[in-house]
Every structure is written in C-alpha cells, then in structure tokens.
A and B are shown apart, each in its own frame.
Chain A
Amino acid sequence: MNNPFKKAVDSLNISYEMAPNPQEFSVFTGEGKTNLDLKTLYKDVPCQAACPAKTNVPAYIEAIAKGDPDKAYLINQEDNVFPGVLGRICSRPCEDACRHKWTGIHGPVHICHLKRSSADYKKNPPKPLPKWFDQSGRRVAVVGGGPAGLTAARELARYGHAVTIFERGSILGGMLVLGIPIFRLPRDVVENEVEAILNSGIEVKYHSPVDSEVMQGLIDDFDAVIVTAGAVAPANLKLSGLPDDGHGIPGLEFMRQYNFGEIGEMPGQHVIIVGGGFTAVDCARSCARAAKRLVGADGTVTIMYRRTEAQMSADNDEIVQMNGEGIEVETLVSPVSAIMEAGRLKSVRFLRNALGDITHDGGKPKIHPIKDSEFDMPCDTLVVAIGQVRTLNILPADITITEDHQTNHEKVFIAGDFRYGSFDVITAVEDGKQGAKAVDTFLSGQERMKTHVGVELIDTNGETGRVRDHDLQKPTDMRTLPLLERDGIAEVELGYDEDGTHTAATRCYYCHYKFEIDQDKCIHCDWCIEVAPRDCIKRVSRLFHDEDGAVTTDIKANLAAETTYIWIDSNECIRCGKCLRVCPTDAISMRKMSLNNCALSELKDSIVVAKN
C-alpha cells in the first residue's frame, strides 16, 4: 500500500471489538443445509412447518395472487399430491399456524380454500410430474390404492421404479371415495388427480385383495412391497341386545353404501350416530347430513357423543353447519344397550356422563358415568362411527412392524394409516412420500434425494406487491349451496369466485420472503423503523441464540446507546418492503426461501452471490 494517507491512519492502529453480525441463514444465497436454515424456515413460514406434507403455502398463494393458478396447482401437486381433493377436505393444520391468526385481523388466511381455487382456475388438466431418475429396472408392489398408496406409487415412479398397485376394490382413492361424502368431495375431482398419478406409468390391479398368503407371493415376485392398506376395520362397540354380534352399522360402511347409492329411503326413521372421535365425527356428520335426506321430514338424526362439543374433533364451522341442517347433537352420553321389538331395533339406552379431570397434557378429560341416569332414545338405525382400526393380519405371521416405515423383513415397508392408525389425508400423503423414500433408499442403497433450504436473492427493490391495506381486507366467505338445494349429492361448497380468490390470496403475508439487515452495513439511522407499518423493526441490545445459531429471544433497547442491533422481527413483518427501499446503505436484503427436494447429484456447494 503506497497511499500515505491510508498508511498514516493505519499507523494509529484503531480497531473495534464489535458484537457479531447474526444472520438467520448459513448462506447469503444458495443452498442452506444446516439446522439453522431449517429452523429459520420453520419459524418464518409457520403454515409450511405445520403442514405434514410441507406444502410451500406462501409460494402458491403468491402465484394465485399474481394470477397464475397453474403454477399454484403445480406447487401443490409437487408437495401434497392432491390439490383439488385437499383443497376441499384437508384438516388444515396450516390455518391454525397462520400468522394472520396470531394478529387477530379477521382470522387466518383461508389457505385450504385457496388451494381449491388453484385447482378450480387452472387452465391445464393435471399432468404427471417429471421423473427424478432414469428407470432402475426394479419393481415395487403397493398394497392399497388410498391416499398413502397413490402417493407412494407416484413417488416411486419418480424414483424410476416400476410400480404396481394392488387394490381390493374397483376404484382407487381409498378413504377419499369411501369415507368422505360426495357432496363434500365430488368423485370426478378424485378421479382427475388419480389419473395424473397413474399416467406416470403405474400399473393397477383392481379387485386384488391381499391377505397374508398373497402378500408372501408379492414379496417373492417384487423387489419391494409397501403396504398402505389403511385402517378400515370398524372399531368395536359391543352393545347388548343387538343381534349380529351386537354391532350397529359401522360409519365407514354407511358412507360407502351412501356414496355408491346402495342405501334406500328411510322415511320417518330415527337415526342415531354414536361417535365424536377425530375422523369419526367428520364421518358421522356426513352420514347424518346424508341420512337427513333419506329419513324425510319426520325422521330425526342425532349425534350422541360421550364428551362435550368442546372435545369434538369437528371444527366449529362444521358444528354450526350441522346445527343449521337440523341435526341434533347430544353430548355427555354413552350407549349401554339396545332394545329390540319384533326383531327390529326400537331404541337405544344411554347413560349420562360427567366430565372428569384431564390426566395428561393435550389429552381429553376423563368421563364418569352418572348413576341411574339411563334414558332411552328411539332408534331405527344405529350408526357407530367411533373410528377404525388396522387389519394387521394381512402381513404374513413372521413379519412384524419395527420402526418408521420398516418391518423386520427388509423388502416389506408400511406407510399411511396402516402404519399409525386412522388419521387425516394430508398426513397419509406425507407418510406415503416418506415410505417411498425408505423403499428407494433400500433399493438403491443410498438416500438419493436431499432436502435443503434454497435461499434466493430477490432484486425487486423490496417489492412483493404487499401493502399494509392488504392485511385489513375482510376475508372472502366460501360460497355454499342454498340449504334447500342440498340434495346430498351436489357439492355444497362452491369455491371462491375469481375476485374472492384474489382478495383471499392478497391477505397472505408471503412469509417465504425474508427481510434481513446486514449489521455490518447498518448505521442505526432508524429510517426503517420510521416507515415500518407496525412494530416489525426494533432496536435490540441483545439477541440470544440456540445451539444452531437461531435467535430464540431478544432484549429490547430504549436508547440509541443501548442499541446493538436494528432487528427485523419476521413474526411481525408484513413483507411490504418499505424498510428496504428507505435504507440508505443497502443494508437490508430481501430473499426468498423454499424447502427444496433435490437429487443428491444436483446439490451444489453453497454459493455466495450477493454478499456485500
């Protein structure tokens, strides 16, 4: 260095010890592969974290808001396989986690309805997704064509394996077509999306029930077998006084008969549905609504549940709709016996319960029967919808379930409800994906796909299209069929119109965008704080980190001298980009994060493009 001025200043040996420059990703742009990256993504994008299938919710909602439903559909198809289906019947854990729900401005973004809009307004029919690998020459049998089985089949085909689905019935979809009433999920929606899966070259053998013997043959014939046979055997409720082993009609069987038009009219009948469990309540409610049409004006439909409505798994919307449809709900009651007359069911005797204490966190309160509180309810048809159990005996006797998706036989894998018992569709989809991954790892001898957090610099001058006014919009109401037109066949929810879709989509905070301050460039001018639409940028004196470097908590600063960092709180950020635009030192960057599933061979070393 020859510059005498620099030399002179250097000779003063001025250096400062500064607090570190905390960044919430391990890379500025590129592939974030550390726990910190994953933690940041899950913290910042709570809907994606809550989704069992890790659907990139903000990315698809942004695509919808920008008028590209086909792209939104593709994002969904990639992550959750059945956008049209799940857009109607998903259990929506994402909406519970939505940041709009935290802020209390008109509740969460209606993520599920938007998923449906992507399916409703896409211009192209669903197509098979591109394969990840060339044909491997390996053959895999999938036992059961429900959500988990179809997902596993699609993923295995993308891994390059030849897949054959063995379905005991004549139709694919499993619970989607058997357990969910057609007025909630029309058959053609399921068929369209199943067809896209089958078009990727999957063979299906219908009417092929699998028992332990057949299973043994599959194990011998195929390179691997994945059992996704679901949990379809009704849970047992023995009721004294009833003929035929003392069971009522299982809820799932009732639904199957209903969906396939096998139930006749039941005018003037009294129908009682017993249940209140997670999927069972949903099922029971559907049966009840369907039954209402069948039982006519004089008939009654009553749900009998042993705890209170607060413990029912059905959400409040469903209960409100159910009440509007004239369905009674009787709570704190348990059936004890059936009373027959002339070979026909006449009434069911119930005992009233009292709620006890909750014995463990997250559990439901215990119930205590109240002595001498029996009463009879007139009943012609008794539907028992208290859940289903797995039929584990289709596995040969020497095969036992070990852990995750494995069994003690190296070629046999399990996934979906068959692995963990009756649960929701979105969980089954994710489990199907994981099951397929386990199969591929076995077949190829290594884990060929890796998940990482993709971090991309977005150079749009902080423009995401969002302003504060978007937050305050009133969410769109779902259009529904008028009560009188609900014939039990026509779909009740009609979807959003295009305007409603746009309004609902622009409410989303686009949490996948991350605004972050490079502390080495920040001069504490506070201009960003001045333009902040809410308390999203704050002065902090200390940040606390966990072992991975993720920020756990902070201590706010009141004075300039106490302020170590100017910090963007992603939980409060509405992604309006004002701070970035006003920053005089370009200290604020806007990046987009996504959870990418990528073939190992394509995963590059982390690249740093725009740091500094």
Chain B
Amino acid sequence: MQWKLEAKRRSEDEIVKEQGLVIDYDEIARKGAMTREEKLISKWFGIYGSRQPGNHMARIVIPGGQLTSSQARMISKISEDYCQGILSVTTRQSIQLHWLKLPALPDMMRKLNEEYLTTFHGCGDVNRNVAACPLAETCNYRRVNVLPYAKEVAKFLADARDLDNLPRKFKITFSGCGAGCAQPFINCIGVVAVVRKAANGEDETGFRIIIGGGMGWKAFVGQELFSFIPKEKITRVCRAVAILFRDHGDRFDRTKARLKFVVHNYGIDKCREIVIDALENEGIGTDDLETNAFEECGTPFPNRPLLEQDPVGTDGKVTVRAMIPKGELTHQQFKRLAELSEIFGNKRIYTTNRQNIEIHGVLPQKVQEVKTEIENLGFATDGHFGIRDVVPCVGTTYCPKAVSRTHDLYDLVMDVVKQKKYDAIWDKVIINITGCPNSCSPYRISDLGFRGMRIREGLGSVEAYEVLIGGTEIDFGKKLGEFKKEDCPQIVEKLLDTYVEVRQGDETLAECIKRVGFES
C-alpha cells in the first residue's frame, strides 16, 4: 500500500529529530562525511557546518561566561591544534572554534571533557548557553549573585532528557539587577534579580521572570511572566517555561517556532496558566509565584552600569577588560589572558555579551600592570560598552547564513568612531552590526544598528546594510534606510555629528532620537 501523507504535518527536521539519532563522532571521523541527518543532529553536540566546505564550527557551552584559567588554556590548545589558532567570543558568552575538520571533532570533544567543558547543547533545539551579567559576582548594584543560579539552571536543563527536543532553540539570561546588562527582554527567559522589603522589614531577594523576547527576523520584547519568585524555584520555573515551549511551539514552521511566537500568539496570561499547570503537575507549589507589582529597594543602579571603567567590585578588587576586536583572538592571546588571570586575578576569565574578555579580582595596585600586559597583546583596556566597542557577528567570514562581510563594515565604522571629535560621546552610543536577519549581533537594540543585505543594481547587486537608529532593549530601532556598504561610514559620521550638535544633557543617542521624535 502506498504511504499515506498525513494531513497535519511536521517539518522535515522534526521527523529526523524524533528518530533519536545517536552520533558517533569517531565513526564520522573515519568515514569523513556526515549524512543530512547527522548534520542536523550534530547541532545538539554544538557542531555546525561552516561557510567553507569541509570545515566545521564548534560552540563551547560556558554558563554565565565564566571559565577557569585551565579551561581557557585547554581551549587555547585546541584552537592551536585544530582551528588554525583562532577562536571567537560570541554575544551569548560562548566561545566558537572554527576551521575544524571532521577527523578533529572526537579529539576536540575529548579534550574539552578533560576540563569539564562540553559543546553538548551548544546549538540545536535545546536550552542553549545560559548567559549572565559578566560582573555578576562583584557588581555593586547586584541584588543577588546570579552566576550560581545561571549555572544551576544550565545543569538542570541540560540533564533533562525530556527537554532535548524543543521546537527550536531556547535561551535564558540572568541579570543581577534591573539595569538588565544581560539583556533580559530579548531572550526566551530573562531572569532579573530583585530585592524588596519583606513583611518582617528585612530585604527579600528573588527573581523577576520575563519571557518571550527575541531578536531574529521578527523581534519581540519580552513580557513579564512573574514579578517575583523565590530564588530557589528558579530551576523549576525555567523548566516549566521550557515545557510550555516544548508542548506549544510550532513544529511545522521552524521560522515561527521560537517561544516568542507562542507568547505572542497565546498572550502572556495563557502562557502563565500553562506554566503554573506544568509546575503543579510536577508537585511544585505555585502560591509564591507573584504577578503583582511591588516597590523595589536596594542600591539605585545607573542606566548602563557596565560603562564604568575598571570597576571596583564589592570585594574591593578590580575588573580589567580586554576589548577583542570583532570578538576574534588568537590562541596565544587567549592563553596569555588565562595566564594573566592566574598571575593577577581570580584564576578565571569571563566572556561578555559584547564579545570581550574580562579578568576579575585584580588588586588595585596591579591594575596598571595588567592593563599594560593586555595592551601589549593588542587589545584596548578601556572604552568598553561604548562607541568603540562595536559588535559585528562573524558575517560571511564563516557563517553560511550571512549575507554580508560584517568585518569589513566593522573596519570602516571603526575608522569613523575612533576620531577624536567623538571622545565626548564615547559612552553614549552603542553600535551593532549583523550579517543577516538572525541578529546574532542584536542590531535592533543598539543606538546604531546595521543589518546586512544586498541592493540590486542595473545588473548584479552590491553589499549593503539596513540602518536602524535609536534602539533600546525595550524599544527597537527605527529604519533609517538601506545603504550600500561604502556609504555607511559617511552616514555614521553624519549621524554622530548631528547627535553631537543636538544632544542635551546626558542623553544617549537613542534617548536623543526619542526626544526629537523619529517620525517628526
């Protein structure tokens, strides 16, 4: 009998996913090729195909962006051995290794395991790397040190075999205070630590839960699921939201499969009901999950806390930062940063969502020494989270999805923003450049955002960018126009000059645009 086609279908990927394929990388290394199914399932093991045929990318999971120096040394070694000595820091605080050949994959994975690192769940339709504020441990404004919670949630969800097959990827981020340095409104779950006065007059800390945000081709601002939950319930609540996504996400159309579409289609109230049901099904009490607004107490936080240069933490020690151009560095540079953290810091290095690296726990008297060392590596040590901290995605350098060479535009834009005339506004403008609508560099939430495209000419087409201005995390940028790459520098210059001219007080570029009115 002929195979009957089902009326209600799943995407082709879903059919492969349900087969529960187990991948043997030793076997793949031996045969030197992957089937279509293996390529798909490889994503669960953090392996992607690269733009260059025969090469692969591995994404190492680094919850909260914290690596021990020995882990960093191992990554450096792997990069040297298998990856042409290059590695990249991502906007979700992972590290990506490019140029991997198939025979190198099993060895690479074993070596990572030796240092308790993994690429498992680096990609794929699962909970991805859990991000957190880079300064989580020592920030002066933090309500809670969110790093242990981020790591706990990462472990809890990675161990849940029933969450291995989500409709699409799932992203969680932790912020230590309401400033939202970890971008809670553009992730599937944004966890924000909060503090309030309890009935007994003592400070009570907990988490505010925001869900359904996301960039990509269709961007949504996250909505509040709970205004306050007890800290110890964070793993179960994250799991319940993952269950909401697992059971209600679109399994036919992958482009509309993310949690943001579930929240958008169902509404936050229905989502909350489903989450509460999921929690109660697993015997978790839900009475203490609150939705009412309350007044927060605690240290008032600035708009962009991370702008503080060489911040001194609660422990009196200093964080020294290295600005990694384009997020790319060599294995020697990375290894040296690990060494510096061993000599001067807390023996850990930290990745940030601006694709930079930090060394924490430096004694104040050693700061200058560390900075000199870092500058000798070729990295700037100030200006982070400012106008010269431009974030491009990898673009067509490696990414098969990208439309444009974002690194080229990075160079062009940097030439403009490095000019002395912009010193006065160095901390007022954030620039993000992404090579395709997937928004790996979140171009909609930056003061100036560029998204790669092509503009057709009379015959053929040229690289171009859609330019957005005035974006913030909760109010996305507005489209200024589409311009060829070579015109972008003069547009950046013109916009910044105008901003210098019309800005009032301390307002950022986005605030200035909001004040004058984009449509006016």
Contacts and interface: CB of A to CB of B under 8 A. Distances in A.
Interface of A: 1-6, 8-9, 11-12, 14, 16-19, 461, 467, 469-470, 473-474, 503, 506, 519, 523-527, 541-542, 557, 560-565, 581-582, 584-585
A245 B518 CA distance: 96
A469 B5 contact: yes
A5 B455 contact: no
A16 B484 contact: yes
B2 A503 contact: yes
A551 B481 CA distance: 30
A5 B457 contact: no
Contact of A12 (B253, B436, B461, B491): B491
A467 B460 contact: no
13 contacts: A4-B502, A5-B495, A8-B494, A16-B457, A19-B457, A467-B5, A474-B2, A506-B5, A523-B437, A524-B453, A563-B460, A564-B460, A584-B438
A563 B454 contact: yes
A14 B494 CA distance: 12
A16 B498 CA distance: 24
Contacts of B462: 561
A473 B2 contact: yes
A2 B401 CA distance: 38
Interface of B: 2-3, 5, 9, 216-218, 253-256, 401, 403, 436-438, 452-462, 466, 469, 480-481, 483-484, 487, 490-491, 494-495, 497-499, 501-502, 513, 516-520
A563 B461 contact: yes
Given A18-B455, A19-B456, A581-B255, 17 more contacts: A2-B517, A2-B520, A5-B498, A9-B495, A12-B490, A14-B487, A14-B491, A17-B457, A19-B457, A473-B3, A506-B5, A524-B453, A524-B461, A527-B401, A560-B461, A563-B461, A584-B255
Closest 6 CB pairs of A and B: A584-B217, A523-B453, A584-B437, A524-B454, A8-B498, A2-B520
B461 A585 contact: no
B123 to A, nearest CB: 17
B299 to A, nearest CB: 35
B520 A12 contact: no
B503 to A, nearest CB: 10
Contact of A18 (B2, B436, B456, B502): B456
B255 A582 contact: yes
A5 B516 contact: yes
A540 to B, nearest CB: 11
Contacts of A6: 480
A4 B453 CA distance: 26
B460 A557 contact: yes
Contacts of B516: 2-5
Given A2-B517, A524-B403, A584-B217, A17 B458 contact: yes
A8 B9 contact: no
A19 B460 CA distance: 9
Contacts of B481: 9
A474 B5 CA distance: 12
B11 to A, nearest CB: 9
Given A525-B437, A581-B255, A470 B5 contact: yes
A470 B9 CA distance: 12
Nearest to B465: A523
Contact of B459 (A541, A582, A585): A541
A350 to B, nearest CB: 48
Nearest to B517: A3
Given A4-B516, A5-B495, A561 B2 contact: no
Contacts of A506: 5
A453 B436 CA distance: 37
A16 B494 contact: no
B508 to A, nearest CB: 14
Given A470-B5, A561-B460, A1 B454 contact: no
Nearest to A555: B459
B215 to A, nearest CB: 11
B483 A14 contact: yes
B458 A18 contact: yes
B434 to A, nearest CB: 11
**Most chain A beta-carbon neighbours within 10 Å: one of B2, B460, B484, B497:** B460
B61 to A, nearest CB: 26
Contacts of B457: 16-19, 564
A526 B461 CA distance: 13
